[in-house]
Structure 1
């Protein structure tokens, strides 16, 4: 999605939203952070139930509709660095690998 499309989506979701504003704020935050980190990192940070809730708030069916698979800042995600280049991504998303789900981001070691 382009920046204008993202902004239109956020405006529409905000206009149509009824409920706790903190949930709307979190859904928008997930979308905006996901632009830089990608949908794979988002799936490693949030539980599947949380992603589904945020997608519903945003009026999306899949993160792939709006976000790159791997964003330019994905390498800063600790969770992504643990699964990048392995076949464990979907196991980590399903919670079958302990210690992977993490929202921590930092500058990776050089």
Structure 2
């Protein structure tokens, strides 16, 4: 999705929103940060329930519809570095591997 399409999606979500504003703000934040990190990193730092809630608030079915799979800054994510190139991504997303889910990132 282009930046213009992303901001159109955000504008529609804001216009249609009825609920707790802090939840909408968090969903928009995930979308904006996800543009640079990708949906795989977002899946590693948020629980599946949180992802579902945020997608619903934004009016999308899946993050894959709007975010790149792996963004240009994914390499900075501790969680991504632990699973990149392995078969463990979905196990980590489901919480079957401990110690992976991390929001920590490093500038490198």
TM range (shorter): over 0.9
Q: In the alignment, which residue of structure 1 is the partner of 2:100?
A: 100
Moved more, 99-108 or 4-13: 99-108
Q: Mind listing any 5+ residue stretches in structure 2 that lack a counterpart? A: none
Distance apart, 1:107 and its partner CA: 2.6
Give runs of ≥4 in structure 1 deviating > 4 Å: none
Q: In the alignment, which residue of structure 2 is the partner of 1:79?
A: 79
Distance apart, 1:17 and its partner CA: 0.5
Q: d(CA) in 1 for partners of 2:69 and 2:101?
A: 17
The two structures have a TM-score, normalised by structure 1, of 0.96
User: What's the CA shift string for 1:26-80, capped at 9, x where partnerless?
Assistant: 0000000000000000000000000000000000001011000000000000000
Q: d(CA) in 2 for partners of 1:3 and 1:48?
A: 25
CA RMSD of aligned residues (A): 0.6
Q: In the alignment, which residue of structure 2 is the partner of 1:59?
A: 59
Q: Mind listing any 5+ residue stretches in structure 1 that lack a counterpart? A: none
Q: d(CA) in 1 for partners of 2:82 and 2:93?
A: 12
Map residues 6-45 of structure 1 onto 2, 5 A cutoff: 6-45=6-45
The two structures have a TM-score, normalised by structure 2, of 0.98
SS at match of 2:96: coil
